[in-house]
Amino acid sequence: MYEFVSGPLVWIAFVGLIGGVIYKLATVLRLAQREGSVFPTWSAKFGVRSVLHWIVPFGSRNMRMRPLFTLISFAFHLCLLLTPLLVMGHAVLWERAWGISWWSLPAWLADVMTLVVIFGGAFFFLRRIAAPEVRNVSGWQDFLLLLLVVSPFVTGYVAHQQPAWLPYETVLVLHIVCGALWLLAIPFTRLSHVLWFFLARSYMGSEFGEVRNARDW
């Protein structure tokens, strides 16, 4: 089982991720071209300005109005993206498989960032239950997707701690399976906002700045 999940399943996940991203981007760009009003108003200047304001903590008025949510959200997303890339175990696998090596996180820092993701996921889960404006637009798929996002970090953290009450090999296999499902879900679920954020934000910035002469942050 370990040989399968660490070999063919990983390749399936990456092929599905890359193929899905290409398909989704091509579909969205084709729809934008057919719609006819997107590209004529697209402005690199206002688009980049908008993106920069929204990727900088407290760069928008909405973020400044909700400081706790902003801090948790930025910490969650930052650790969510960087930890899988820079954790030592993954860096070793990249080097063995493709001969690519880069700097990796100290073990203690990787643990801290993993816990940030886990606690951030718990915060967003409870927020979907407690906040009416989020609960009203949440379905069971959103809760399931949030569990899927956090699952590789939970299983990875448990595997790294190697508790005596759980078989290491079993947890490691679960970690790889969860990670593969996570990658496959990105293009076809709401996780695709990692792709659409920059496109949507740059378009909104262009619309507000070029057409309406107003700020969108």
Where would I find the H helices in 7-138?
Answer: 8-35, 44-55, 61-65, 67-86, 88-98, 107-130, 132-135
CB under 8 Å to 216, separation ≥6 — which residues? 50, 53, 204, 205, 207, 208, 209
What is 142-203 written as a DSSP string? HHHHHHHHHHHHHHHHHHHH--TTS-HHHHHHHHHHHHHHHHHHTTTSGGGHHHHHHHHHHH
3-class DSSP state for residue 217?
A: coil
Query: Using CA of residue 98, residue 100, residue 101, residue 107, what is the dihedral sign?
Result: negative
**Cα 35 → chain centroid:** 28
Q: What pLDDT, on the 0 to 100 scale, is given for residue 149?
A: 95
Q: How far is CA 86 from CA 66, 114, 170, 217, in A?
A: 30, 12, 23, 32
214, 46 in Cβ contact below 8 A? no
Q: What is the pLDDT of residues 71-90, one digit of tens each?
A: 999 999 999 999 998 888 77
Longest dimension (CA), the chain: 62
Give the DSSP letter of residue 57.
Answer: T
Q: Is the Cβ–Cβ distance between 114 and 79 less than 8 Å?
A: yes
Please give the pLDDT value at position 98: 67
- All structural domains of the chain, each given as residue ranges with its CATH number in brackets, are 2-211 (1.20.950)
pLDDT at site 85: 87
% of the chain beyond a pLDDT of 90? 41
CA separation for the pair 202, 209 (Å, rounded): 10
pLDDT tens, position by position, 157-187: 998 888 877 888 899 999 999 999 999 999 9
Mean pLDDT score of the chain: 87
